[in-house]
Amino acid sequence: MTGTTAEVVLDGELDISTYEDARARLAEAERTAPELLVVDLAGLRFVDSTGVRLILSADERAREAGRRLALRLGDGPARRVFAALGLVDRFEVLDAP
Partner 1 sequence: MSERGSPARALQRLAGELLGATSPAAIGALVATTAAELLGADATVVFARADATTLEALHTSGWPEEFSRPFRRLELHRGRPLSDAVLDGHPIWLEDAAQWRLRYPDMAPFGTAADRQASACLPLRVEDRDLGAVVFSFNAPRAFSAEEREFLVAVTALCAQGLDRARLLVAERAARAAAERQLGRMTFLSRTARLMEAPLSVEDRLQQLADLAVSELADWCAVHLVRGGRVDQVAVAHSDPAKVAFVAQLQERYPPDPDAPGGALRVSRTGEPAYYPEIPDELLTAAAVDDEHLALIRSIGMRSALVVPLAVRGRRLGALTLVHAESERRFDRTDLAFTEQLAASAAVALDNARLYEEQWRTAHTLQAALLPTDLPAVPGLRLAARYRAPTDADMLVGGDLYDVVPEPDGCGVVVADVCGKGAAAAALTALIRHTVRAEIDHGLGPAAVLERLNQAMLRASGGRPGRFATVAQARITRTPSGATVRLASAGHPAPLVVRHGRAEPVCAPGTLLGVYPDVTLAEVTFDLDHGEIMVLYTDGVTEARDADELYGPERLVRAVADARSADDLADRLLADVDAFQHGQQRDDIAILVIEADAEVAP
Between the two ends of the chain, the Cα-to-Cα distance in Å is 17
30-42 as b/e, with b when 16 or more CB fall inside 10 Å?
beeebebbbbbbb
Of residues 20 through 79, those in contact with partner 1 by CB under 8 A are 46, 48-50, 52-53, 56-57, 60
Considering the complex, state which of residue 28 and residue 53 has its C-beta at the smaller distance from partner 1: 53
Q: How far is the CB of 1 from partner 1 (least distance, A)?
A: 28
Considering the complex, state which of residue 7 and residue 50 has its C-beta at the smaller distance from partner 1: 50
d(CA 94, CA 97): 8
d(CA 17, CA 76): 20
Applying CB under 8 A, among 87, 91, 93, 94 the residue interacting with partner 1 is 87
Residues that bind partner 1 (CB under 8 A): 46, 48-50, 52-53, 56-57, 60, 84-87, 89-90
